[in-house]
A and B are shown apart, each in its own frame.
Chain A
Amino acid sequence: AQSVTQLGSHVSVSEGALVLLRCNYSSSVPPYLFWYVQYPNQGLQLLLKYTTGATLVKGINGFEAEFKKSETSFHLTKPSAHMSDAAEYFCAVSPGNNDYKLSFGAGTTVTVRA
């Protein structure tokens, strides 16, 4: 079984500051890991994913995440926040191996202060 814990339901950052969103997972098999973003009144948009290979993955809009197996983490970062980054961010895990059902974290709402 897979589960995801996102630490911090709400993060507030200043424009230009580092964005760090924390995600820890639990999985009985090597996981596939995802970050999705949800802008107000919109659907879920894929930011980035880790399946195999390089543990530091880069996504859209300047975001990146690092898979750390020893820490069971997949934290999302962006060096410099922009006002347009205000949204809700979801970490998700799937077992892979032809089982792609996603288990989501509770989400982290990001607000960006001018």
Chain B
Amino acid sequence: EPEVTQTPSHQVTQMGQEVILRCVPISNHLYFYWYRQILGQKVEFLVSFYNNEISEKSEIFDDQFSVERPDGSNFTLKIRSTKLEDSAMYFCASIQTDTQYFGPGTRLTVL
């Protein structure tokens, strides 16, 4: 069964550094999402992406964040200058009809 994959599974970085989180959505899906889950908190929507552009973004998704689909298969989330409060689990999801399928997540730790 096809599944969403994410790399790396765990990323440790220093505050102020750039990180790129990678996702490979299910191949015939067209809508892609990033969510994050800070430890002990709700899963929060960050951004949705369709037809090579952002279709919606949350207040969290400020100028430090960007997304792109560089090669037609990967879907990346970049954080330009990480802050301590960016430490969270980041989930990628892709959608078929009305259901989102989630990847296993990347745990980002900012020191």
Contact = CB atoms under 8 A, between A and B. Distances in A.
Interface of A: 32, 34, 36, 42-46, 49, 51, 90, 92, 94, 96, 100-107
Contacts, number: 50
Interface stretch (B68-76, B80-88, B91-99): B91-99
A103 B46 CA distance: 11
B42 A100 contact: no
By DSSP majority rule, is chain B's interface helix, strand, loop, or mixed? strand
B102 A45 contact: yes
Contact of B102 (A44, A100, A107): A44
24 contacts: A32-B98, A34-B99, A42-B104, A43-B4, A43-B105, A44-B93, A45-B102, A46-B99, A46-B100, A46-B101, A49-B98, A51-B98, A100-B48, A101-B45, A101-B48, A102-B33, A102-B35, A102-B43, A102-B45, A102-B100, A104-B42, A105-B42, A106-B41, A107-B42
A104 B43 contact: yes
Contacts of B31: 100
Nearest to A36: B102
Interface residues of B, number: 23
Interface of B: 4, 6, 31, 33, 35, 41-45, 48, 56, 91, 93, 95, 98-105
A49 B99 CA distance: 8
Given A36-B102, A44-B93, A102-B35, 4 more contacts: A44-B91, A101-B33, A107-B42, A107-B43
A94 B93 CA distance: 14
